[in-house]
């Protein structure tokens, strides 16, 4: 049995900073690598937790689009925080993102 694998890349999202791809499509499942709140032009993190969360979601959206997908196709995300005090701020950003436009998202904060 052969498995079809395709590397997915978007120039609108920051390039991977290590030996990995932005995303890999395996058959009909897309695996998106972790996204930071990084500006794709400067390569720097944007300032502030809310802005970083928004930028990371925006970067993920660009990668999804490059794969022919959208937030509506996402069924799970994982959020990693350096400080749990930022949970509410990041959650507020998620709630205003189009990725919360449906009820099937499983989130692991």
CA-CA distances (angstroms) from residue 52 to 26, 28, 58, 73, 106?
28, 29, 10, 22, 21
Whether the pLDDT of residue 103 is over 60: the answer is no
Q: What is the distance of C-alpha 33 from the center of its chain?
A: 7
CATH number of 5-108: 3.30.1330.40
76-85: pLDDT as tens digits: 888 999 999 9
Spatial separation of the C-alpha atoms in residues 27 and 19, rounded to whole Å: 22
pLDDT of residue 77: 86
Whether the pLDDT of residue 108 is over 70: the answer is no
12-54: pLDDT as tens digits: 999 988 899 999 999 999 999 999 999 999 999 999 999 999 9
Instruction: Identify which has the larger pLDDT, 4 or 24.
Output: 24
CA-CA distances (angstroms) from residue 71 to 54, 64, 75?
14, 7, 9
Mean pLDDT over each residue of the chain, to the nearest integer: 89
């Amino acid at each position: 049995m052969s498995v079809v694998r395709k590397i997915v890349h978007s120039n609108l999202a920051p390039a991977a900073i290590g030996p990995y791809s932005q995303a890999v499509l395996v058959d009909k499942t897309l695996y998106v690598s972790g996204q930071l709140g990084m500006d794709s032009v400067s390569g720097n993190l944007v300032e502030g937790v809310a802005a970083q969360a928004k930028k990371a979601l925006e970067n993920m959206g660009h990668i999804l689009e490059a794969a022919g997908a959208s937030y509506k196709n996402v069924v799970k995300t994982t959020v990693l925080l350096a400080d749990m005090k930022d949970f509410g701020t990041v959650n507020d950003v998620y709630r205003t993102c189009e990725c919360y436009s449906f009820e099937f998202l499983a989130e692991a904060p």
